[in-house]
Amino acid sequence: MKKLTTTILSLSFLACASGVISNAKSAYADETALTQNCKSAYLCDFNSGECIYKENETARMPIASVCKVMTLTLCFDAIQSGKLSLDDKISVSERAAGMGGSQVFLQTGLTYPLSDLIKSIIVCSANDSCVAVSESISGSEEGFVALMNKRAEELGCTDTLFANCTGLPKETQYSCAKDVAIMFSNLIKNEEYFKYSKIWLEDFNHPDNRTTSITNTNKLIRKYTACDGGKTGFTNQAGFCLASTAKKDSMRLVSVVLGASSSDDRFKSAMNMFDYGFANYKNRVILDKDVNLNDKFTVDCSKKQAISVKPARSSYVFSAINATPEIERNVIAYDIKAPVKKGDVVGKIEVYKDGVLCDTVDLVAAEDADKATYGDFFKKVARGWTL
């Protein structure tokens, strides 16, 4: 590998050049005004995980149906691993059909597409669907809960313990606002999630020709234009809880509210946090996936001496609007031989914010480089003789 360039950039210069510096001020003179009547809260940037606002963020407390964030995570994990597919038929046990609380009234012995069960969990927080998928993935809800706790540990959630897959009241079950933000941020990396999270009202069709109307429990998708996903929860013990996400331009934020006194309080608190985050923070483009780097990479045994390269994806640096962090970019070229096809990974670029690595992006060929023939080598030698 060859390190080609190190570029140090002032983010204030980048921001001014792109016209993103703003005189916008916080809508709140005091950050304590961001939430109302809740026990715990957390707001962070989705891409970097950087915290914007926190309030009792590691306090352990019940989170009710917000625990289904992990239930859904394991569903998508099973799909990604190939263990299940969205089209797989899931059989409903008597235990699953008999679950109380929020449900879609699954019928014992019938089979439902996994996609429909996932949809019902995301949209209307169906407990019966949670148990049905848990039994399909692990054989029992108890085995599934063990997987939930293992996955939480893998994500670094040190203040979380699950006792069931639904969030119904049970001893020794808790989480915290920070951990929920970590788990929810991981869940929404699955693009499939957003196919269901924005559904407001829909009919859930049963195999026996019954229909159950399902309505989204996350009222923010109607109350807050930028919101496109979330998970609510409520029990008398947990109070009103909400994990939600909103996106404006290139910036996605994640908010968590736990233990609110009312449903309105949780939604209002989330909206206040989103407003504060969008008004005071910005994602600046450091690498544009559609723009070639100035650097060109040498290709051995090629008809071309060098090729243009570009980032495989865009990269952003998250910071307060009035902040001026120092950005450093290290470009590393791999040893590459022809033939090279457009889109092949040929190197990587590391992005540092204030000396800390914040992103690593693959670099791909922006053009083909065919393998040189004997004739090409002969022509090259011949040109050398004539010089």
Contact (Cβ atoms closer than 8 angstroms) between residue 34 and residue 273 = yes
Contacts of 291 (CB under 8 A, 6+ apart): 310
- Kindly tell me the burial class for residue 60, based on how many C-beta atoms sit within 10 Å of its own C-beta (0-12, 13-18, 19 or more): middle
329, two tokens: 């970019």
Straight-line distance from the first to the last Cα atom of the chain, in angstroms, rounded to the nearest whole number: 32
3-state SS string for 7-72:
EEEEHHHHHHHHCCCCCCCCCCCCHHHHCCCCCEEEEEECCCCCEEEEECCCCCECCHHHHHHHHH
Spot the catalytic one: 102, 115, 120, 125.
125
CA 76, CA 102: separation in Å to the nearest integer?
21
Active site residue 255: no
Strand-pairing partners, residue 319, are 282
- Helices 114-124 and 127-138 meet at what angle, rounded to 10? 140
Radius of gyration of the chain (CA): 25
Spot the catalytic one: 65, 115, 255, 319.
65
CA 85, CA 169: separation in Å to the nearest integer?
31
Strand-pairing partners, residue 360, are 350
Active site residue 68: yes
The CA dihedral of 191, 163, 166, 91, to the nearest 10 degrees, is 80
Nearest to 67 by CA among 220, 174, 182, 199: 174
Contact (Cβ atoms closer than 8 angstroms) between residue 33 and residue 306 = no
The angle formed by the CA atoms of residues 120, 84 and 218, to the nearest 5 degrees, is 20
The angle formed by the CA atoms of residues 195, 199 and 280, to the nearest 5 degrees, is 80
Spot the catalytic one: 39, 68, 119, 268.
68
Nearest to 139 by CA among 190, 82, 96: 96
Nearest to 246 by CA among 264, 223, 215: 223
Active site residue 337: no
Which residues have a catalytic role annotated? 65, 68, 125
